[in-house]
Amino acid sequence: MAEVRVEGVRETMKALRSLDAQVARESLKAIKAPAVATAAQLRSVAPAQPLSGMPSYPVKATANYGGRARASGDRNLVKIRLTGGGWTVASDMARESAPGESMTRNLTAKYGQASRWAWPTVEQRVASIQRAVVQACKDAEQTLNRLLRER
């Protein structure tokens, strides 16, 4: 998956917060918006009950800003986190069990190979997410510059 580097976001957000906390919150929402939309799409594409007789698992997809720094010092601006047993059981079952098992066969017959929903959904949106996040960061920088000029 392609990676886009955006420099100075933490500093921009810190400066925005010091000048206008509401504008900083709106900028964070704009940065998270594409990931939030993708998380909503992920929740909608996974069936509540993948196979008959299978319990319904909650599917949780959330979008977060920031995160821990990597060893390189880089941070993810946004991340989409999938939780809930439904993802492991339904989307990635072929990786978790031996091929040929009944549940794996039935899931594959009904929905296709492993990573049935998560990766295809994210991969088709990754370019638009990257463009939108970069544009939101540029907008935050322009807003900060405007607020500094007005002071």
Supply the pLDDT for residue 96.
53
Distance between CA atoms of 97 and 20, rounded to whole angstroms? 52
Domain extents for the chain? Answer: 9-150
pLDDT in tens, 16-41: 889 989 998 898 888 888 888 888 88
Q: Which residue has the tokens 């935050």?
A: 140
Supply the pLDDT for residue 142.
92
Mean predicted confidence (pLDDT) in 64-82: 66
Helix (H, G, I), strand (E, B) or coil at 106: helix
Asked if pLDDT for residue 89 goes beyond 70, the answer is no
Supply the pLDDT for residue 108.
74
Supply the pLDDT for residue 7.
77
Supply the pLDDT for residue 102.
75
Phi, psi of 8 (to 5 degrees): 80, 15
Supply the pLDDT for residue 2.
56
Phi, psi of 88 (to 5 degrees): -65, -45
pLDDT in tens, 36-65: 888 888 777 776 666 676 666 565 666 666
Burial of 6 (0-12, 13-18, 19+ CB in 10 A): middle
Asked if pLDDT for residue 1 goes beyond 80, the answer is no
Asked if pLDDT for residue 99 goes beyond 70, the answer is no
Dihedral over Cα of 69, 70, 71, 72: its sign = negative
**Residues above pLDDT 90, as percent of the chain:** 5
117 CB neighbour count, 10 Å cutoff:
24
Cα angle 76, 80, 82 (rounded to 5 degrees) comes to: 135
Look up residue 124 and give its amino acid.
Q
